[in-house]
């Protein structure tokens, strides 16, 4: 097979349909695990990595994050929910120190 022969590559129409499926997942907030998303969409992980760089995907991801935060805010503490989902953001830092003194260890 010669290098320019791309008969094993899916037609562009299929890729476009796959991309639209991927966008649907991103809009629902599913974008973290490339391997999982690739298996759902039916493309390679490398394709998902490349698609994540597309401006339309970036906008969809931002909107999904915004919608999620609005929903969480309505339900309670959004920072707690972010931590539960493994999405922590830098917040104002508070340095706290504590001195612990334990007595009575001589008898142990």
Distance (Å, whole) CA 55 – CA 53 = 6
Q: What is the pLDDT of residue 6?
A: 46
Segments forming the whole domain that contains residue 27? 12-89
Whether residue 22 lies inside any domain: the answer is yes
Cα–Cα distance for residue pair 81/71, rounded to 1 Å: 10
Residue 36 located in a structural domain: yes
Residue 58 lies in a domain: yes
For residue 76, being part of any structural domain is answered with yes
pTM of the model: 0.55
Q: Which two tokens stand for residue 38?
A: 């690739």
108 or 52, higher pLDDT: 52
Percentage with pLDDT > 70 across the chain? 69
Question: What are the pLDDT digits (tens) for 55-106?
Answer: 999 999 999 888 888 877 777 776 776 777 666 656 555 566 667 777 777 7
Q: Is residue 105 part of a domain?
A: no
Residue 79 and residue 73: Cα distance in Å, rounded?
A: 9
What's the pLDDT at 23? 92
Residue listed under structure tokens 């974008």: 31
């Amino acid at each position: 097979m010669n290098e320019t022969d791309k008969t094993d590559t899916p037609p562009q129409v299929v890729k476009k349909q796959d991309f639209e499926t991927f966008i649907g997942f991103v809009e629902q907030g599913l974008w973290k695990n490339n391997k999982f998303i690739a298996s759902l969409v039916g493309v390679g992980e490398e394709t998902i990595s490349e698609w994540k760089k597309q401006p339309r995907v970036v906008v969809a991801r931002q909107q999904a994050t915004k919608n999620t935060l609005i929903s969480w805010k309505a339900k309670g503490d959004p920072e707690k929910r972010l931590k539960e989902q493994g999405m922590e953001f830098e917040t104002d830092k508070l340095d706290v120190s504590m001195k612990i003194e334990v007595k009575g260890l001589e008898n142990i």
